Amino acid sequence: MYMILRWLINAIGLLAIGYFIPGIVVESLYYAVILVVVIGLVNAVIGMILKIITWPINIITLGLSNLVINAVLFGLVAKYIQGFNIETWWAAILGAVIYTIITTFSAWLYKESYMH
């Protein structure tokens, strides 16, 4: 139950990102829910491999290279998923940062609800 709520929070967050950030388009809640699942899978598989490969660079840049990796993955998902479009590189970076904040918040809510 809480996992579905977490996915819904993330989907609404994606809709808000598409509404407030120029250059990012999310067509509907249906596409946003699909995006949440796809972004999660891409981050779990491809993102983890990229973060392991770029670990030395990540240490040198104090974690800032993760922003680039997240933006690249965000853009990769936008390229292949219908109903989600990113027009500029800066929109991808800003969208990835805000989506990371949203998913961190929903994970914190899930953790808090799971502990009680």
DSSP states along 22-71: TTEEE--HHHHHHHHHHHHHHIIIIIHHHHHHTHHHHHHTTTTHHHHHHH
Are 33 and 7 in contact by the 8 Å Cβ rule? The answer is yes
Mean pLDDT of 6-22: 92
Domain count, the chain: 1
Phi-psi region of 62 (alpha: psi -120 to 50; beta: other; left: phi over 0): left
Are 103 and 10 in contact by the 8 Å Cβ rule? The answer is yes
Q: Is the pLDDT of residue 73 over 70?
A: yes
Q: Is the pLDDT of residue 7 over 70?
A: yes
- The CA distance from 66 to 47, in Å, is 9
Range of the domain at 18: 2-115
Reported pTM: 0.84
